[in-house]
Amino acid sequence: MENLTLGSKSYMSKLRRSGSDFTLDVGEENYKGTFSRKSNGSIQISISDKSSIGFSEKSGNEIYVYLNGVNYVIKRESGALKDNVLDEESGDTILSPITGKLLDKKLEIGDSVSKNDVVVILEAMKMEHRLKAPRDGKLLKLTPAGIGDQIKEGELMFELEEE
Amino acid sequence: MINRILIANRGEIACRIIRACNEMSIETVAVYSDVDSDSPHVLMADQAVEIGPANPSESYLNFDKIVDAALKTNADAIHPGYGFLSENGAFAKYVKESGLVFIGPDATTIKSMGDKAESKQMMADAGVPTIPGSDGELTGNITSLARDIGYPLMVKAAAGGGGKGMRVVRNEDELDSSIEAAKNEARNSFGNDTLILEKFLDNPRHIEVQILGDQNGNIVHLYERECSIQRRHQKIIEESPSPALTNKFRNKMGEAAVKAAKAANYYNAGTVEFLYQDGEFYFLEMNTRLQVEHGVTEMVCGIDIVKWQIRIAKGESLTFSQKDIKQRGHSIECRIYAEDPSRGFLPTPGVIRKMILPEGPGVRNDVGVSEAQEITSSYDPLLAKLVVWDADRNSAIQRMDLALSNFIILGLITNQPFLRDIMKNDSFQKASFSTNFIDEHFKDWDFPDIDPKVLALALLGSKTSQIHVSNTTESYSPWSNNRGWRQGI
């Protein structure tokens, strides 16, 4: 089983293939289909006799799919990565939502923060992004990056001390 | 004479300008920052000069580096495109003083139109409608002044910006307390509590008029563009004509724009932006440059705006008058951005691993990126502009949706699925919208549920991309022939 996510939705999926046939499990559902590769790199795929032609490529943990007029970026997540996401959602650890440049750090480690205080300001593609404290607390960790340094998406920006 | 033009820009607009030059047999010089060395605009131009690191202030915004590159390559003129230095009066002046032609209006015009208060006053003096409000500091009987302007109105800090010191006042009961609050906020934020009152437009459309003027005093308008579909106060879909205007009103707005341009001693291409609500329109600002969305006007008027910018800069006169200019059919533009519409339109840098552009009758692609290119976080996330033309608005919407559905771009998140949803939206199709459209209809937009076939394709076909970012010197470009001429297109 692999966890494929798109935006806020996730799909536990598994694919078994034999020749040009495949079976696909998505959660409790089960599908049977066929596929064939075309010389221009596209793939013709059909499930229950409905056929479409699409493209698919991957890089790292991302898969890019074009099918039926929509381009998708699907993330492939292992169990470990999923824990990280849960950590982020708990609200104590704030990761960078973008790849960009560190514009400013407003506080230092040990400082007290109130909910919605701006802690870090990032810039990407000419836009500012302000990362705010999700609750009142004390700053436990802060990115060691200097002003003007590059920041990657998913990099830890700051963490609040446990309540 | 203009025989060689340096284009002080990058991306799709630099490519657009190079194409116009090619068609006019004018040689082109591109400039580029180190991260842009393999970008399409560099490969398309006759020559290219590296002007520094990615940070725009050290490259695309640096007066000296750009003018030096122009002098060194014996260019006669500089085209600034949009953004970067295009509305910088000091740059226009510097270009002229360096013995080069600036393709745009005079430096003093750029400067006065760039000052909000000065341009508003200039327009009011010329009889162009402006948003009614107090002139200067609030004195005397504020309640009666507010009554004259009419509710709802806006209390604004004169020194303001960024939404600070601004209050919407719905009725007279709220007036005193709003003024007090705005004053405090203005004092704390700007150290200056001077306030002004202005009529508040809660449901406006953004409609703008394209202007073309030569250096011999002839000014015409090329009708309007409807640009109300915006996110974060930035346009994503534009069309011409505007479905909101009657012909009578369209002409009235065009005449006002010409009046505005005359008041500003305007020449070259420019755009007069208006807000439109309840049958009234008000001057917003004048953009003294080529507009991103100029393509929709070119499609309906049959006039190449970029070529005319160059002819005007050479001193040529317009060869047509107002009565010769007609709008024909309907044109729509969608801006394809590297951004995530499900997460507040956050920019999404990445590498373009596959790109196949839609084709067909009435479909135009203005593109500044190519396969294997890395889209970095250094620049604007605009990847491409998809423009369609058809006989009427409904047909154009249908053609746009089909063209969007055939726009294949893999490797990064784009707003492509979001744009398709707008094309299918009932209010959009009925042309019933204001600048609040996206907030009203798509506030919690998310990607569509995934079809099992998409999941199967993801797990089946996902061979690792052959594109490596470090390997960008490889000659992948369709633009690699040297003069940019492409037969049979």
Higher pLDDT, A56 or B232: A56
Q: Is A20 on the interface with B (CB under 8 A)?
A: no
Q: Is A54 on the interface with B (CB under 8 A)?
A: yes
Region B376-392: mean pLDDT is 95
Residue B393: Cβ within 10 Å count: 17
pLDDT bracket for residue B469 (50, 70, 90): low
Q: Please say if the pLDDT value at position A123 is more than 90.
A: no
Under the banding of pLDDT at 50, 70 and 90, the label for residue A87 is very low
Residue where a domain stops, chosen among B56, B85, B103: B103
Convert B6-16 to b/e letters by CB count within 10 Å (16 or more is b). bbbbbbbbbbb
Decide: B27 and B4 in contact? Cβ < 8 Å.
Answer: yes
| Residues B209 and B323 grouped into a single domain | yes
User: Which residues of chain A make contact with B457, given a CB cutoff of 8 A?
Assistant: 43, 45, 54, 56, 65, 67
Residue A54 confidence (pLDDT): 95
* Partner B contacted by A105 (CB < 8 A): no
Peptide bond preceding B417 in cis form (omega within 30 of 0) = no
Q: Give the three-class secondary structure for A21.
A: strand
Residue (of A87, A61, A102, A49) closest to B462 by Cα position: A61
Question: Higher confidence at residue B11 or residue A99?
Answer: B11
With a CB cutoff of 8 Å and minimum separation 6, the contacts of B232 are B345
Given this model, what pLDDT does residue B478 score?
35
Q: Residue B240 CB: number of other CB atoms within 10 A?
A: 28
Is there a single domain that holds both residue B109 and residue B254? yes
> Taking CB atoms and an 8 Å cutoff, what residues of chain B touch A13?
455, 458-459
Q: How far is B364 from chain A (nearest CA, A)?
A: 18
Q: Which of residues A64 and A128 earns the better pLDDT score?
A: A64
In degrees, rounded to 5, the angle at the alpha carbon of residue B342 between the alpha carbons of residues B275 and B10 is 65
Q: Does A129 touch chain B (CB under 8 A)?
A: yes
Q: How far apart are CA B183 and CA B160, in angstroms?
A: 11
Q: Where in chain A is the domain with CATH 3.30.700.30?
A: 2-77
B309 in any annotated domain:
yes
Considering the domain boundaries, does residue B481 fall inside one? no
End of a domain among B328, B344, B368?
B328
Partners of B451 on chain A (C-beta within 8 Å) are: 67-68
Q: What is the pLDDT of residue B161?
A: 60
B230 within a domain of the structure (yes/no): no
The answer to whether A162 and A104 have CB atoms below 8 angstroms apart is no
Q: Under DSSP, is residue B268 helix (H, G, I), strand (E, B) or coil?
A: strand
CB pairs under 8 A between A and B: 169
- B381 and B435 within one domain: yes
For testing contact with chain B, the best of A71, A74, A126 (most B CBs within 10 A)? A71
Q: Are residues B380 and B287 in the same domain?
A: no
Q: Pick the residue of A46, A72, A126, A129 with the most B CBs within 10 A to test the interface with B by mutation.
A: A72
Give the structural domain span for B75: 4-103
Domain A90-160: which topology? OB fold (Dihydrolipoamide Acetyltransferase, E2P) (2.40.50)
Both B339 and B320 in one domain: the answer is no
- The top-scoring range by mean pLDDT among A64-78, A125-139, B413-427 is B413-427
Q: What is the mean pLDDT of residues B385-389?
A: 98
Q: B142-149 and B175-190 are packed helices; what angle lies between their axes, rounded to 10 degrees?
A: 100
Q: Would residue B478 count as lying in a domain?
A: no
pLDDT band, very low/low/confident/very high, at B487 (cuts 50, 70, 90): very low
**H/E segment holding residue A50:** strand A50-59
Our count of domains for chain B comes to 4
Q: Establish whether B399 is a catalytic residue.
A: no
pLDDT band at A29 (very low <50, low <70, confident <90, very high): very high
User: Residue A22 in contact with residue A33, Cβ under 8 Å?
Assistant: yes
Q: What is the mean pLDDT of residues B453-473?
A: 70
Query: B454-481 burial, b if ≥16 CB within 10 A, otherwise e?
Result: bbbbbbbbbeebebeeeebeeeebebee
pLDDT (0 to 100) of residue B187: 83
Contacts of A54 in chain B (CB under 8 A): 453-454, 457, 461
pLDDT at B468: 62
Q: What percent of chain A has pLDDT over 90?
A: 46
Tell me: do B254 and B364 sit in the same domain: no
Q: Min CA distance, B377 vs chain A (Å)? A: 5
Query: What are the angstrom distances between the C-alpha of B424 and each of A4, B429, B430, B436?
Result: 27, 7, 11, 17
Look up residue B143 and give its two tokens.
């309640």
- Chain B interface includes A31 (CB < 8 A): yes
**pLDDT of the residue at B160:** 63
Q: Considering only residues 440 to 459 of chain B, which have any Cβ-Cβ distance to chain A shorter than 8 Å? A: 446-459
The full 3-state SS of A129-152, as one line of letters, equals EEEECCCCEEEEEECCCCCCCEEC
Q: Decide if B43 contacts B480 (C-beta within 8 A).
A: yes
In a domain? residue B485: no
Task: Give the mean model confidence (pLDDT) for residues A11-31.
Answer: 93
Place of tokens 């049959």: B302
B334-348: average pLDDT: 95
Chain A interface test: which of B35, B84, B462 (most A C-beta within 10 Å): B462
Do B221 and B126 lie in one domain? The reply is yes
Kindly report the backbone phi and psi dihedral angles of residue A64, in degrees, each rounded to the nearest multiple of 5, phi listed first: -110, 125
> In chain A, whose CA is at the least distance from the CA of B413?
A73
Check if the interface score ipTM surpasses 0.95. no
State the catalytic residue, choosing from B10, B19, B225, B289. B289
Q: Which CATH architecture has domain A2-77?
A: 2-Layer Sandwich (3.30)
Q: In chain A, which residues have their Cβ closer than 8 Å to the Cβ of B468?
A: none
Would residue B262 count as lying in a domain? Answer: yes
Q: How close does chain A come to B412, measured CA to CA in Å?
A: 7
> Cβ atoms within 10 A of the Cβ of B76, count?
18
For residue A91, pLDDT over 90 is answered with no
**Domain shared by B62 and B195, yes or no:** no
Confidence of residue A31 (pLDDT cuts 50, 70, 90): very high
Q: What ranges make up the beta strands (E) of B243-303? A: 268-277, 280-287
Please give the single-letter amino acid code of residue B126.
A
User: What confidence score (pLDDT) does residue B463 get?
Assistant: 62
- A138 touching chain B per CB within 8 A: no
Looking at residue B136, what is its pLDDT?
65
- Burial code (b: 16+ CB inside 10 Å, e: under 16) for B318-338 equals beeeeeebebebbbbbbbbbb
Task: Write out residues 316-345 of B within 8 Å (CB-CB) of A.
Answer: 338, 342-343
Above pLDDT 70, what percent of chain B? 92
More confident call, A126 vs B332 = B332
Q: What percent of chain B is predicted at pLDDT more than 90?
A: 77
CB contact under 8 A, B378 and A55: no
Enumerate residues 6+ apart whose C-beta is below 8 A from B101.
Answer: B2, B76, B77, B78, B95, B313, B314
Report yes or no: B256 and B224 within 8 Å, Cβ to Cβ. Answer: no
Q: What CATH number corresponds to the domain at position B157?
A: 3.30.1490.20
- Cβ contacts of residue B233 below 8 Å, gap of 6+? none
Contact B379 A69 (CB under 8 A): no
Nearest-5° angle of CA B435, CA B440, CA B441?
110
* B162 reaches A (C-beta below 8 A): no
Which range, of A58-67, B70-79, B361-370, B422-431, averages the lowest pLDDT? A58-67
Same domain, residue pair B249 and B284 = yes
pLDDT at B484 over 70: no
In this structure, of A11-25, B72-86, B106-120, B282-296, the range with the lowest mean pLDDT score is B106-120
Which residues 6+ apart lie within 8 Å of B125 measured at CB? B263
Q: How far apart are CA B290 and CA B309, in angstroms?
A: 9
Q: Are residues B178 and B81 in the same domain?
A: no
For B408-449, what is each residue's pLDDT tens digit? 999 999 999 999 999 999 999 999 999 999 999 999 999 988
Closest chain A residue to B349, measured at CA: A99
In the predicted model, is pLDDT for residue B121 greater than 70?
A: yes
pLDDT-derived band at B462 (thresholds 50, 70, 90) equals: low
B125 and B152 belong to one structural domain: no
CB contacts, 8 Å: A125 with chain B: 338, 347, 349, 377-381
Least confident of B36-40, B195-199, B271-275: B195-199
B53 and B24, same structural domain? yes
- Minimal Cβ distance to A47: which of B342, B343, B452: B452
Q: Which residues of chain A does B349 touch, with a Cβ-Cβ cutoff of 8 Å?
A: 98-100, 124-125
